[in-house]
């Protein structure tokens, strides 16, 4: 049991001012403490130290927020998931009149299993009914993920792949020598790729932007000839709703090859397994940035070539509208790696 400061002072005064016939043990017994405790408190007082009781240690994860205030903070967090702790503290002060600290709010969130993570931005224009309708279409016509071929384009600027942070001695800037910085780092490039469960069927890296006519040429000359009539493997072409995609022309062109065409719902990049593949390729470019022979076009072709089929299968598996890949389909896809 913790004894308060006032009782400690009374015990010390009793020991110091006791009669000659009174022992320290007797003084301690009068106040229900042990003789050694009375001696220790007296020694602390004579050394000029404070007689305050030791601070109570809080158990890990303990939060001092009241339960009703925790509920307020949780509701505010749900409405503003990107709020800083400082902003939540200010909100609680306005609503409750209690000035909490950021660490107290942090502890309360940990107790509720709320953690800090990278923020994902979902476009407000995204239509959930259209996304649901697209998933229903897939279930009707797709019997295996082997049938799906995704086509998309990605634009790359050389300046995107600079590493923004470096290390140096305190007080001095971090810098490195890199070619072509003064007069530009080369022309921007674009990539048009076709991805099946068995890997990349087609990769076209072009200088500059991808025009509608150039995209249609690649689709007709490079991609559709490598696909099969429905319902065979690689027989369903999936594209996004980019302005360069002429729907009528694409439908007519695909019909000549017996290929079925599906367009992704607007702003549904999470339904496209090519998105994480493009991220992997661009990460490769960042890792090679600053080399003497660095050229975005050549390095981008290298980046796509070193992506294994196993990664492509995993990108399919992590696409919400596709789901789990069966062992049979996975074995079929990985056989193309050999």
Whole-number pLDDT of residue 253: 93
Cβ contact 125:267 at 8 Å: yes
State residue 182's pLDDT score.
Answer: 47
Overall pTM surpassing 0.75 (yes/no): no
Cα separation, 223 vs 250, in Å, equals 12
Looking at residue 338, its pLDDT comes to: 60
- What pLDDT score does 242 carry? 83
The reported pLDDT for the residue numbered 186 is 65
Report the CATH architecture of 128-165+185-337.
2-Layer Sandwich (3.30)
pLDDT tens, residue by residue, 283-302: 988 888 766 556 788 888 99
Q: Residue 11 contacts by C-beta under 8 Å, 6 or more apart in sequence?
A: 27, 28, 31, 33, 37, 38, 41, 42
The Cα–Cα gap between 305 and 328 comes to 25
Measured in degrees and rounded to the nearest 5, phi and psi for residue 265 equal: -65, 155
User: In the beta sheet, which residues pair with residue 192?
Assistant: 153, 204
* pLDDT in the model for residue 57: 57
Average pLDDT value over all residues in the chain: 86
Residues of the chain with pLDDT under 50: 60-62, 182-183
């Amino acid at each position: 049991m913790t004894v308060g400061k006032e009782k400690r002072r009374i015990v010390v005064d009793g020991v110091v001012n006791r009669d000659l016939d009174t022992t320290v043990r007797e003084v301690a017994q009068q106040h229900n403490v042990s003789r050694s405790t009375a001696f220790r408190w007296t020694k602390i007082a004579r050394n000029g130290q404070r007689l305050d009781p030791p601070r109570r240690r809080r158990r890990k994860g303990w939060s001092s927020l009241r339960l009703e205030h925790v509920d307020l903070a949780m509701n505010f967090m749900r409405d503003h998931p990107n709020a800083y702790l400082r902003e939540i503290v200010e909100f609680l002060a306005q609503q409750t009149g209690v000035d909490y600290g950021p660490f107290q709010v942090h502890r309360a969130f940990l107790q509720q299993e709320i953690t800090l993570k990278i923020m994902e931005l979902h476009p407000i224009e995204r239509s959930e009914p259209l996304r649901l309708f697209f998933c229903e279409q897939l279930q009707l016509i797709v019997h295996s993920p082997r049938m799906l071929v995704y086509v998309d384009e990605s634009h790359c600027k050389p300046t995107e792949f600079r590493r923004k942070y470096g290390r140096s001695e305190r007080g001095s800037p971090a810098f490195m020598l890199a070619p072509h910085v003064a007069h530009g780092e080369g022309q921007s490039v674009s990539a048009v790729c076709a991805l099946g469960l068995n890997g990349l069927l087609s990769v076209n890296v072009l200088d500059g932007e991808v025009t509608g006519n150039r995209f249609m040429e690649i689709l007709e000359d490079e991609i559709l000839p490598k696909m099969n009539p429905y319902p065979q493997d690689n027989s369903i072409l999936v594209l996004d709703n980019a302005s360069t995609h002429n729907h009528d022309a694409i439908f007519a062109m695909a019909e000549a090859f017996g290929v079925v065409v599906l367009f992704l719902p607007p702003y549904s990049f999470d339904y496209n397994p090519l998105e994480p593949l493009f991220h992997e390729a661009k990460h490769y470019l960042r890792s090679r940035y600053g080399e003497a022979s660095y050229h975005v076009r050549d390095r981008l072709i290298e980046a796509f070539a070193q992506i294994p089929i196993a990664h492509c299968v995993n990108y399919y598996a992590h696409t919400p509208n596709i789901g789990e890949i069966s062992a049979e389909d996975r074995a079929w896809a990985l056989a193309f790696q050999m």
